[in-house]
Structure 1
Amino acid sequence: MDTCRRAVFLDMQGTLGGNGVDDISTFEFYPFAINAIKKLNQNKLLAIVITNQSNISRGYISQKDFDEKMNMLNLVLSKQDAYLDDIYCCPHTRKDQCNCKKPLTGLIDRAMKEHNIDLKHSFVIGDMGMSDIVLASNIGAKGILVLTGAGKGSLSEYRDTWANYEADYIADNVLEAVNWILDNK
């Protein structure tokens, strides 16, 4: 078996891009996000998206719509010599009682098996403390909160939703987060 690899688990909306926290159909990458992904690629760190997309379960978009959007985003990345190693999506709402909705670890468990990941030396980057930073803690990885998307609110009015957890680093955006990872590897 291959040596365990290090991964950076990336949230989508609010972390890699915007135009609607809940609506993936209007998602576009932030200008700096593609450079962040490219730096992960160049440094042989797995760039893996872990995203909650409850609008699929709610019937607002289909799994096919989501997959087509991801294909389009992968095309945008490839035109700039960047790529995501994988994308894992939880389509559920909390009522579905799945094991994959962040901060639960089901998607990470799958990624770890499929990519032979060393979680202890991996990272989670996201804009929501209650899902992304708690997920990092749940899997034993380092958690980085970005201040884009819901990040500023996560540090202030929603801090109580993850009061028992701390981010390992707080970055202005995903590119600064990736630079911190590369400086501290």
Structure 2
Amino acid sequence: MAKAWLAEAGYPEDKDFPPLVLMHNNSELHHEIAKGVKTILKHYLNIEIEIRVLDFDAYIDSLKQGSHIFRMGWCAGLPDANEWLHQVFHPDKGINWIGWKNREFAKMVDRAQQISNPIGRKKLYHRAEQILTEQEVAIIPLYFSNTQFLLKPWVKGWYHIAFGGQHIRHWSLSQ
């Protein structure tokens, strides 16, 4: 699909595409991710990428200028799709670092905020996510963080709290 879009945009057969700049703030993990993206885009689409590493303040300033492509992460404050789709990507009410606007997407997330039926909300957010990541490909999610815990069977009362801050007062040990 990407090659077809490039040809439609006037870059047939992987030729003459101008080099892009991929920016990230200074982090070894972010740099490894950027190098991987650079390798993939060169190999599959013949697109040259220049990687720029900036300190965090300069990085945020550059995002406000409308950078080519950049690496960004987000940690939701609540386990709800609204935390991602509305707060980060809504064209009028969200952070929207990418400057992307899609009215159908905005209607979906606005409507999802107003209904309490979890199944109905999930369907609306799912459709909004399809618009964002498949139909328009405004973002390309690369990975999702995951945490693993190893718990001995004699530890009782432990449970995972997704947003950190384990409650040790609930723990006990048994034989």
Instruction: Provide TM-score, normalisation by structure 2.
Output: 0.32
Structure number with higher relative contact order (C-alpha < 8 Å, ≥ 6 residues apart): 1
TM-score by length of 1: 0.31
When Rg is computed on C-alpha atoms for both structures, the one with the higher figure is 2
